[in-house]
C-alpha cells in the first residue's frame, strides 16, 4: 500500500510543480474575474449618479417625499425647477443629466416628458419613477407609502414546500452546488492530458520493465489515478479559495447578490459526496483508455465524450424544472456520469431525498472501484505491446492471470 502512495505522490509532484500547471491553475479564476469585472463595468456605465431635475406642472410634488433606494444604490438628487427654460439652462450647463416634465394633465393622462442631451442613467429613470410613485401616495402614512414604493417581494416555493427561491432569481448559495458540478466537469477536460499520459509515457520510454519488477499493476494505476485526482482537487480548492475571496470583496463593494450567500452545507456536502467518486470513475476510465492506445494524441479525442456525458442533463432541463421528482430526473440522478449535474439541477427546484443521494454516491463509488480494476487490467495486458493497440473486446474477454 505504501508503494501506491509513493506513486500518487510522484505523479502529483510531477505535474503540480510545472510552470504550465500554475498558469492553468490561475487561468480559470482570472478569466472568470475578468468577465465579471467587464460585466460590472458595463453595468456601471449604464448608471449615472449625477443630479436630475423636474418641472411639476400638475402639483404632484407640492411637498416632495424622497423615494427609498434599494440595496447599495446611491440616491440621485432631484432638483425642482419653476420653468422648463430654467431646467434646460441647467441641462445645457451640465448641472443635471436630464429633467422630467410632469404635464398639467398628468392625473388624467399619466404623461411625463423626459428631456436630455444624451440617454440618462437607468438608475435615474428608475429612481424618478419611484419618486413619482411615493408622492402619489402622499395621502397615506409614510410607512404605507414607502412599503408600496418598495414593490413586491415574491418568493417561489416548490410544490412540496421544501425549496424556495426569491422572485429575483436563485441566490448564490442555491447555485453553488451547480457551480461545483460544472467545475468538476471542467477539471475533467483540463486534466484529460494528464490522465491519458499517465501510462503512455512509461510505455513509450520502455520503463515498464523496471516498474513491473517492483510494483503491481493495480498499485501503479491506483497511485497514478489518486495522484491526478489530487491534482484536480488542488485546482478545485484553489478556485474555491479565490471564489470566497471574490465573494468577500463583492460584499464589501455592496453588490447585492453577494451580500448574503446563505450556503446550504448539506447540499454542498451531498454534491461533493457524488462528485469525488464520479471524478475518480471518469479518471480511471480515461487512464484505461490511455493504457489501450499507442500514443497520447490518439486518446485525447475521447475526453470530449466524457464531458458530453456529464452535460447530458442540460438537454432534459425542462422536465427537471417542471417535475424534478419524475422517473427521468431520478433515473439520471443514479446513473454514472449524469448523476452529478442532475442532482445539482434538481436541488435548485426541490430537496432531493437523502436516500437518492446515498444510492447515487454508492453507485459512483462501486463504478469507480470497477474502473480502477479495469484500468489496472488494461495496463497489465497492454504494457508489453509497444506500438500495438489493445482492443476493448480483447480486454473484456481475456481472463486475468
- Torsion angle defined by CA atoms of residues 172, 173, 175 and 177, in that order, rounded to the nearest 10 degrees: 140
Could you tell me the pLDDT band of residue 61, with boundaries at 50, 70 and 90? confident
Please count the CA atoms within 13 angstroms of the CA of 157 that sit on its side-chain side.
5
Q: Are residues 165 and 23 in the same domain?
A: yes
Q: Are residues 391 and 304 in the same domain?
A: yes
Most confident of 277-286, 321-330, 364-373: 364-373
- CA–CA separation, 258 vs 168, rounded Å? 14
Residue ending a domain, among 128, 151, 174, is 151
- CA–CA separation, 398 vs 391, rounded Å? 11
Long-range contacts of 280-283 (CB under 8 A, 24+ apart): 280/225, 280/229, 280/368, 280/371, 280/372, 281/336, 281/337, 281/364, 281/367, 281/368, 281/371, 282/188, 282/306, 282/310, 282/337, 283/188, 283/191, 283/195, 283/225, 283/228, 283/229, 283/232
Q: Are residues 175 and 245 in the same domain?
A: yes
Q: Are residues 167 and 121 in the same domain?
A: no
Q: Are residues 232 and 121 in the same domain?
A: no
Q: What is the pLDDT of residue 188?
A: 76
Q: Are residues 110 and 14 in the same domain?
A: no
Domain-embedded: residue 176: yes
Residue ending a domain, among 92, 117, 151, is 151
- Specify the range with the lowest mean pLDDT, choosing from 10-14, 105-109, 355-359: 10-14
Q: What is the pLDDT of residue 186?
A: 77
Q: Are residues 218 and 363 in the same domain?
A: yes
Domain-embedded: residue 108: yes
Residue range 111-133, pLDDT digits in tens: 999 999 888 888 888 888 888 88
Do strands 99-102 and 52-56 pair parallel, antiparallel, or not at all (unpaired)?
Answer: parallel
Residue range 214-264, pLDDT digits in tens: 777 777 777 877 888 888 888 888 877 877 777 777 666 666 556 556 667
Q: How high does pLDDT run on average in the chain?
A: 77
Q: Are residues 198 and 290 in the same domain?
A: yes
Cell of 306: 466524457
Residue ending a domain, among 151, 172, 203, is 151
Q: Are residues 97 and 223 in the same domain?
A: no
Cell of 161: 414546500
Q: Are residues 243 and 386 in the same domain?
A: yes
Helix (H) or strand (E) holding 307: helix 296-311
Q: Are residues 126 and 170 in the same domain?
A: no
Domain-embedded: residue 298: yes
Cell of 49: 449618479
The yes-or-no verdict on residue 355 having pLDDT over 70 is: yes
Domain-embedded: residue 100: yes
**Domain holding 145: CATH number?**
3.40.190
DSSP code per residue over 3-25: HHHHHHHHHHHHHHTSHHHHHHH
Domain-embedded: residue 77: yes
Phi then psi for residue 27, to 5 deg, are -65, -45
- CA–CA separation, 55 vs 113, rounded Å? 10
The total number of structural domains in the chain stands at 2
Q: What is the pLDDT of residue 276?
A: 87
Domain-embedded: residue 40: no
The yes-or-no verdict on residue 54 having pLDDT over 60 is: yes
Residue range 159-201, pLDDT digits in tens: 656 666 665 566 666 777 777 888 887 777 777 666 666 666 6
The residue ranking higher by pLDDT, 60 or 199, is: 60
Q: What is the residue range of 302's domain?
A: 2-31+158-397
- CA–CA separation, 104 vs 125, rounded Å? 20
Domain-embedded: residue 37: no
Domain-embedded: residue 39: no
Question: Closest by alpha carbon to 233, among 16, 68, 2?
Answer: 16
Q: Are residues 268 and 179 in the same domain?
A: yes
Cell of 262: 446563505
Amino acid at each position: 500500500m505504501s508503494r501506491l502512495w509513493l506513486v500518487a505522490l510522484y505523479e502529483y509532484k510531477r505535474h503540480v510543480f510545472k510552470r504550465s500547471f500554475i498558469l492553468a491553475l490561475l487561468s480559470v479564476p482570472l478569466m472568470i474575474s475578468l468577465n465579471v469585472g467587464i460585466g460590472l463595468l458595463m453595468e456601471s456605465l449604464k448608471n449615472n449618479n449625477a443630479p436630475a431635475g423636474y418641472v411639476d406642472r400638475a402639483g404632484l410634488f407640492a411637498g416632495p417625499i424622497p423615494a427609498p433606494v434599494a440595496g447599495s444604490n446611491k440616491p440621485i438628487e432631484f432638483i425642482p425647477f419653476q420653468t422648463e427654460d430654467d431646467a434646460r439652462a441647467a441641462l445645457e450647463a451640465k448641472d443635471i443629466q436630464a429633467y422630467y416634465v410632469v404635464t398639467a394633465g398628468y392625473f388624467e393622462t399619466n404623461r411625463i416628458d423626459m428631456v436630455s442631451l444624451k440617454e440618462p442613467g437607468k438608475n435615474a429613470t428608475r429612481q424618478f419613477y419611484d419618486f413619482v410613485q411615493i408622492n402619489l401616495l402622499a395621502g397615506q402614512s409614510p410607512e404605507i407609502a414607502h412599503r408600496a414604493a418598495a414593490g413586491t417581494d415574491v418568493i417561489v416555493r416548490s410544490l412540496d414546500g421544501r425549496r424556495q427561491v426569491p422572485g429575483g432569481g436563485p441566490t448564490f448559495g442555491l447555485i453553488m452546488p451547480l457551480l461545483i458540478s460544472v467545475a468538476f466537469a471542467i477539471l475533467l477536460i483540463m486534466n484529460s492530458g494528464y490522465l491519458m499520459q499517465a501510462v503512455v509515457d512509461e510505455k513509450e520510454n520502455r520503463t515498464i520493465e523496471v516498474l513491473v519488477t517492483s510494483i503491481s499493476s493495480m498499485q501503479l494505476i491506483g497511485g497514478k489515478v489518486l495522484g491526478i485526482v489530487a491534482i484536480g482537487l488542488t485546482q478545485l480548492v484553489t478556485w474555491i479559495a479565490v471564489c470566497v475571496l471574490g465573494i468577500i470583496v463583492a460584499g464589501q463593494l455592496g453588490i447585492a447578490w453577494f451580500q448574503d450567500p446563505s450556503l446550504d452545507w448539506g447540499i454542498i456536502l451531498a454534491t461533493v459526496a457524488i462528485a469525488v467518486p464520479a471524478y475518480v470513475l471518469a479518471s480511471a476510465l480515461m487512464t484505461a483508455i490511455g493504457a489501450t492506445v499507442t500514443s497520447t494524441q490518439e486518446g485525447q479525442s475521447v475526453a470530449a465524450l466524457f464531458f458530453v456525458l456529464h452535460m447530458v442533463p442540460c438537454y432534459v432541463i425542462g422536465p427537471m424544472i417542471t417535475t424534478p421528482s419524475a422517473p427521468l430526473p431520478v433515473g439520471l440522478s443514479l446513473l454514472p456520469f449524469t448523476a452529478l449535474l442532475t442532482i445539482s439541477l434538481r436541488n435548485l427546484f426541490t430537496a432531493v431525498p437523502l436516500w437518492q443521494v446515498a444510492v447515487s454516491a454508492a453507485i459512483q463509488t462501486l463504478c469507480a472501484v470497477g474502473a480502477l480494476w479495469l484500468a489496472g487490467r488494461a495496463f497489465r495486458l497492454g504494457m508489453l505491446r509497444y506500438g500495438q493497440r489493445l482492443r476493448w473486446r480483447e480486454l473484456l474477454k481475456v481472463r486475468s492471470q
